[in-house]
């Protein structure tokens, strides 16, 4: 949640984010994601890949630290 907030993704709760991921990539609908399901799902969904990539972009964290 902290990374999402720092990067400006505050319009989505952690629960909503998780639900979206499961809906998109839990291919066998068992309510669990294997590493293989996660990797395959993210590789196939361009929007999800972009969202996850932005979520782990820590450049805004560095800006906050530098500005005090």
Question: Does this model's pTM top 0.85?
Answer: no
At 23 the pLDDT is 85
The share of the chain scoring above pLDDT 70, in percent, equals 75
- Mean pLDDT estimate for the chain: 76
Close Cβ partners of 35 (under 8 Å, ≥ 6 residues apart)? none
CA atoms of 30 and 67, how far apart (whole Å): 45
At 9 the pLDDT is 57
Select 12-65's CATH number: 1.10.238.10, 1.10.357.10, 1.10.3720.10, 3.90.25.10: 1.10.238.10
The share of the chain scoring above pLDDT 90, in percent, equals 1
Q: Tell me the per-residue pLDDT of 18-50, one tens digit each, with 9 for 90 and over.
A: 787 788 888 888 988 888 888 888 889 888 787
């Amino acid at each position: 949640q902290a990374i999402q907030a720092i990067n400006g993704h505050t319009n989505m709760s952690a629960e909503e984010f998780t639900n979206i991921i499961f809906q998109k990539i839990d291919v066998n609908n068992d309510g669990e994601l294997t590493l293989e399901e996660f990797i395959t799902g993210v590789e196939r969904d361009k929007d999800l890949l972009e969202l996850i990539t932005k979520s782990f972009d820590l450049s805004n964290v560095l800006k906050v630290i530098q500005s005090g």
